[in-house]
Chains A and B, each alone.
Chain A
Amino acid sequence: MSFHSVLIHNEFKALKGKYNSTIVYLFFILFITFLAVGFAKSALTYQQKLSAAPFSNWVNLNYHAGTRDSLRSLKEQISEKQFRERFHIQGAYFYNKGMVSVLSVLHGNTTVQYEARTIDPKSGIVKDLLHAGVCAKYFPDSVANVFEYEPNGVIISRRLLDDIGLDKRSVSFIQIKSPVGDLVPVPVLAVVNELPDLSDIVYTNLFYCKTMNTGFYDRDNSYDRIFVENMDTAGILNVLKELYAVLEIRDPSTVQTTVLKTGNSAVLNWKIEIGTEQNDLPGNIRKEKIANLNALKNHHFGQYFELSKDSSCDNSAFFHDYLAIEFHDLERIREFSTYLKEQLTLQLNLEVLSDRENYLFTGNIAIGSIMLLMVLSVISVSIYISGIIRNHLLKMKKNLGNFLAFGVKNTTLIRLYIWVTVKILVAAIVPAFLVATATGEFFEKYLLGKLLVLDAEQDYFSLSDSWFAMFLLLILFVSVSRTFVSVKKILKHTPGDLIYERDS
């Protein structure tokens, strides 16, 4: 037993109030604040994530007969450095949009249409795409330009991957339906969270051009070619063994097996070529037998076609759909819009800019609201606790005078009452934090998900960031400071003045 322990123990008991009323009151203030801060901060983080999306500095202009000449003129102007600097433009690229049919395992091996768009491999958007929000990439880190590495490759959205039932750990191809109905495997270069223009597939202008012309893949009938994803050597030997049996292959040298470089380097992907000239079975029977091979069950496989290696394409037969302009920042975009209207009679869709401005506005409102909430909470907690302590000490003034007369130092009493303040705060903060965390997680998991479409990778409630830590420190600091001032103000009187209640 010591004076310190007796005082802290008893004063804590006295100050926590009847039925712990002081702690319960503080608990509710803090619980509500923690809950609000947890949701608001996460919403703000999400807002910032949206506003920092890689495509927010892009605007598109519609390409059609009426705008073709103006857009070509504009593209030429943008090629001049001075013009680009004037409007903070980084570059301009023509692109096309279209629908692509993709084979979906989850849709009973039927094709589903997805929106696709082209991009210029040299544009900054490729870097932007692969800089943030990449779920998986299937090319070496040393590759500077992914479309030079694989000009026939595509970048797909995670939504598409999930929708067609493939796994990002092993996917190497998606099978797109050609105009003549073949399911052509196209190498996947990367899976990303989001693609521009809400597309699910992105490929180069060249690839798009080639798909618009006949012969972008080899339909040679002298071979049955199949690809098999994610299979070890033992597995492929089983496939071959079964193939020989079901296709009645007498000469194994007519079957060639090659490891494909495409796709995830952590797994093995195979190409099997089966010569058909010496095989008596009809083509459709062979295909059916291959499709039903037991050794291929639970593996992504399909017919394999070699894609055209052409590095140029005649695009004179079709229009572009859009001219995409990439900006360094959007500071001059309104001026640019006026210029387009006056000089080129082009109408710039400023929806993107409005979105960006809205993000910034709502972001600032969110920051302001959080700050206000935190300040109000800090003020209310500190005023409440220091008020409780001040009132308690005013009632105990004579007793404090008696303590001082007995030889207790002012600094000792100040220190002990600060301890009591911290003890009360901790007694309220710890349960408030735990209950707020549990409530927030419960809301996020069971209620929010039923009301809204949630981004699975986004945390909608979080109290584990530096903001929250600073907030707690601020509550402690301000409350302790106020207690310090209140106690010091009372103890500045002499013991005699406190005992005899003089105001000198």
Chain B
Amino acid sequence: MNRNLFEIEGLECAYGHRGNNNRKVVLQIEKLSIPMGKVSMILGLSGSGKSTLIETLGLMNNTISKGSITYYQGENSVTIDRKIWEHPSVLTEIRNRNFSFIFQQDFLMPHYSTEENMLIGRLIQGSDPELFDEKDELRQVCQKMRLNFDEISKKKPFELSVGQKQRLSFIRAILKPHSVIFGDEPTGNLDDINSELLMNVLKESVNQDHRRSAILVSHNIPLSIAKADYIFVLSPVSGDIFEVKPGHVFSRFESGWINGNKEVLTDIKLEEKIREAVNFNEPV
């Protein structure tokens, strides 16, 4: 069985209308493998294409102008390239069965109850909450996320704080049966304690089921170093184009990290390397 989740080959992502010469290339990745059953973090400056990479992998947008991505589902694989977008039902099916998402904004449905919002991912997939002990499961996961289910279940999102809503959107993502959870700065609206809490629950979820993986975009280098299994850094190539260079792939190794050049790094050294990789000594 392939231990990789995604294998990227000669990928070029661009925005703008197809067939238009002015399509703007924003991301190039010659070759990259994202492992299965791990928490992978993508770091880079603002505008470096982190969200583009998440969108492309999560089939949220048709940005591929060249190359392809192979998505492995156990023994089976799906090639993600420009052509797959000609088959909307295939895209919907893959998203529905395999992917879950959490974004910097909560995107909770404002008129739905908290309970309905938490369960909506599961309902979309067609699960019938009557068939499992929904309330107990919700209570448990709420407890883990330091939320009182009985207190909030009937409330509407506008009655909750920003942090509570963000945690709810995470619960919604984690409750939906999935093989990959994509996060675009999921801790952006959370304080340090809740950010760590969210990452811990996510890691626990991935560790419990090795068929599950997480790919997250973050600006938080220390949190990424603390919680990620893999870190991919997007570095500028020329102009506005970014790429993941082979030396800028970092993986957790026993008590430390190794980079693409097999160098062993401490957390402090890794942070320096990341800052160096994004090419600017500015906060990323």
Residues of A within 8 A of B (CB): 1-3, 6, 10-11, 13-14, 396, 398-399, 401-410, 494-497, 499-500, 502, 504
Contacts and interface: CB of A to CB of B under 8 A. Distances in A.
- Chain B contact-residue range equals 35 or more
Given A406-B101, A406-B121, A504-B16, A495 B61 contact: yes
Interface string B190-229: 0000000000000000000000000000000000000000
Contacts of B17: 504
Contact of A504 (B15, B103, B176): B15
A494 B62 contact: yes
B7 interface: no
B105 to A, nearest CB: 7
Contact of A1 (B92, B119, B176): B119
Interface stretch (B125-133, B239-247, B256-264, B273-281): B125-133
B92 A409 contact: yes
A2 B123 contact: yes
Contact of B111 (A1, A13, A495, A499): A13
Indicate the member of A405, A408, A494 with the most B CB atoms within 10 Å: A405
Contacts of B62: 494
Interface of B: 15-17, 51, 55, 58, 60-62, 88-89, 92-97, 99-101, 103, 105, 107-112, 116, 119-121, 123-126, 128-130, 176
Contacts of B58: 405
Contacts of A3: 120, 123-124, 126
Interface of A is mostly: helix
Given A408-B96, A409-B89, A500-B55, 14 more contacts: A1-B129, A2-B128, A401-B107, A404-B92, A405-B58, A405-B99, A406-B125, A407-B92, A407-B93, A407-B125, A409-B92, A494-B60, A504-B15, A504-B16
29 contacts: A1-B123, A1-B130, A2-B123, A6-B120, A10-B109, A11-B111, A398-B107, A399-B107, A399-B109, A402-B101, A405-B60, A405-B95, A405-B99, A406-B100, A406-B124, A406-B125, A406-B176, A407-B95, A409-B88, A409-B89, A409-B92, A410-B88, A494-B60, A494-B61, A497-B61, A499-B107, A502-B15, A504-B15, A504-B16
Contacts of A502: 15
B92 A10 contact: no
Nearest to A399: B107
Contacts of A404: 92, 95
A292 B60 CA distance: 102
Contacts of B101: 402, 405-406
A61 to B, nearest CB: 77
A10 B112 contact: yes
A247 to B, nearest CB: 93
Contacts of A403: 124
A412 to B, nearest CB: 9
A481 to B, nearest CB: 22
A95 to B, nearest CB: 77
Contacts of A1: 116, 119, 123, 128-130
A502 B24 CA distance: 14
A396 B107 CA distance: 9
Contact of B92 (A399, A408, A496, A499): A408
A496 B126 CA distance: 23
| 6 A-B pairs with least C-beta separation | A407-B96, A496-B61, A496-B60, A407-B95, A3-B123, A14-B111
Indicate the member of B61, B93, B111, B116 with the most A CB atoms within 10 Å: B61
Contact of B124 (A396, A407, A494): A407
A408 B111 contact: no
A496 B55 contact: yes
Contacts of A401: 60, 107
A402 B112 CA distance: 15
Nearest to B125: A407
A410 B62 CA distance: 16
A402 B103 contact: yes
Contacts of B103: 402, 499
Contacts of A6: 112, 116, 120, 123
Contacts of B88: 409-410
A408 B101 CA distance: 13
Contacts of A13: 111
A260 to B, nearest CB: 80
Nearest to B63: A496
A10 B111 contact: yes
A401 B129 CA distance: 24
Contacts of B125: 406-407
Nearest to B52: A496
Indicate the member of B15, B99, B120, B129 with the most A CB atoms within 10 Å: B120
Indicate the member of A11, A396, A408 with the most B CB atoms within 10 Å: A408
Nearest to A12: B111
Indicate the member of A402, A494, A500 with the most B CB atoms within 10 Å: A402
Given A3-B123, A6-B120, A504-B15, A402 B61 contact: no
B22 to A, nearest CB: 12
A410 B88 CA distance: 9
A248 B58 CA distance: 117
Given A10-B112, A496-B60, A407 B97 contact: yes
A1 B131 CA distance: 11
B128 A406 contact: no
A399 B112 CA distance: 12
A502 B97 CA distance: 26
B160 to A, nearest CB: 16
Given A402-B103, A406-B121, A407-B92, A499 B109 contact: no
A120 to B, nearest CB: 78
Nearest to B182: A405
A502 B15 CA distance: 10
Contacts of B96: 406-408
A22 to B, nearest CB: 14
B135 to A, nearest CB: 12
Contacts of A398: 105, 107
Contact of A402 (B89, B107, B128): B107
B16 A406 contact: no
B210 to A, nearest CB: 23
A17 to B, nearest CB: 11
Contacts of B100: 406
Contacts of A496: 55, 60-61
Nearest to A398: B107
B203 to A, nearest CB: 22
Indicate the member of B89, B107, B108, B121 with the most A CB atoms within 10 Å: B107
Nearest to B17: A504
A495 B101 CA distance: 11
Contacts of B15: 502, 504
B55 A407 contact: no
Contacts of A406: 95-96, 99-101, 120-121, 124-125, 176
